[in-house]
Amino acid sequence: MSKEKEKKEKKEKKEKKIEIEIETEDKEEEEAKEEAGAEEEAGEAETADPKDTEDGGGEEKKESGAGGEKKDPKDARIEELNDKHIRLMAEFENFRKRSSKEKEAMFETGAKSVIEKILPVVDNFERALGMSEEAAEDKPEKEADPFMEGMRMVYKQLITELEGIGVKPIDALGKEFNPDFHNAVMQEDSDSQPSGTILKELQKGYLYRDSVVRHSMVSVVS
């Protein structure tokens, strides 16, 4: 409560100081105008005809009445300060939005860089598990290998964590070739598939939040 009271008092003092400065400036302007007006009236009284002076006075009154009321300098100063305040708030809001976008872009770039380094580890897991499955098929006795079971669990956990942050594989097999997602390194003939269809996926591609981290390496029907 004391801090808020101090802030309030400081604010009131600042406003009062501005008002005093404005009042001082107004008084100085009014005194200068009165002195100038007194000098003009004295000069006119010496040279002008009394009748002309009366007519001129009437015209001055009409002109002053037609001109309308003069704007209070305090109101003008308040409008000026309000305008400055609004401009500063708008500039700050633009700066905040720009900084937020830059921060998000930096985060996206950093995350994609880390994911690119993790993907070869995922590839090696998949190769090892594939070779293990082929070796198990050749064996007459199909007994579970505890070591390979542990690798499968670690691989599954790794894939789950990647999916949790928005990483997912690009769907390629049987799809039409799309250069935005696929990288064709081979062409093959096929009687059952139309031209441009992906026959084989040589290396998986991945997306991070709908942005390509790595293109799928594929073989396409010629």
Has residue 113 been placed in a domain? yes
Q: What is the pLDDT of residue 69?
A: 65
Least confident of 40-44, 47-51, 118-122, 143-147: 47-51
Q: Over the chain, what is the mean pLDDT? A: 79
Q: Is residue 178 a part of any domain in this protein?
A: yes
Query: Does residue 89 sit in the same domain as residue 100?
Result: yes
Is the confidence at residue 130, as pLDDT, over 50? yes
Whether the pLDDT of residue 216 is over 90: the answer is yes
Would 53 be classed as within a structural domain? no
Q: Give the pLDDT of residue 68.
A: 54
Residues 119 and 128: their CA atoms lie apart, in Å, by 14
Rounded distance, CA 204 to CA 170, Å?
A: 7
Long-range residue pairs from 158-162, CB within 8 A, at least 24 positions apart, any chain:
158/118, 158/121, 158/122, 158/125, 159/122, 162/115, 162/118, 162/122
Mark whether 114 and 142 lie in a shared domain. Answer: yes
Q: Are 208 and 185 in contact (CB under 8 A)?
A: no
> Is residue 33 a part of any domain in this protein?
no
| Residue 34, domain member (yes or no) | no
pLDDT tens readout for residues 63-89: 444 455 677 888 888 888 888 888 899
Q: Once rounded to an integer, what is the mean pLDDT over residues 131-158? A: 79
147 and 184 both lie in a single domain: no
Domain count, the chain: 2
Angle at 145 between CA 143 and CA 147, to 5 degrees: 175
Q: Minimum mean pLDDT among 18-27, 44-53, 128-137: which range? A: 44-53
Average pLDDT over residues 132-137: 75
Q: What is the mean pLDDT of the segment spanning 18-27?
A: 70
Decide which of 135, 165, 195 is a domain's last residue: 165
Q: Cα dihedral angle (151, 154, 158, 161), rounded to 10 degrees?
A: 160
Q: Please list, in sequence order, all residues whose beta carbon lies within 8 angstroms of the beta carbon of residue 170, skipping any fewer than 6 positions away.
A: 181, 182, 204, 205, 206, 207, 212, 215, 216
Shared domain for 140 and 89, answered yes or no, is yes
The parent domain of residue 150 ranges over 82-165
In a domain, 120, yes or no: yes
Is the predicted pLDDT of residue 125 greater than 50, yes or no? yes
Calculate the alpha carbon distances from 154 to 149, 161, 167, 193 in Å: 9, 11, 17, 37
Residue with the bigger pLDDT between 99 and 35: it is 99
According to the model, what pLDDT value does residue 170 have? Answer: 93
155 and 174 both lie in a single domain: no
Domain assignment present for residue 7? The answer is no
pLDDT of residue 60: 46
**What CATH number is given to the structural domain containing 174?**
2.30.22.10
* Confidence (pTM): 0.54
pLDDT at 48: 47
More confident of the two residues 103 and 69: 103
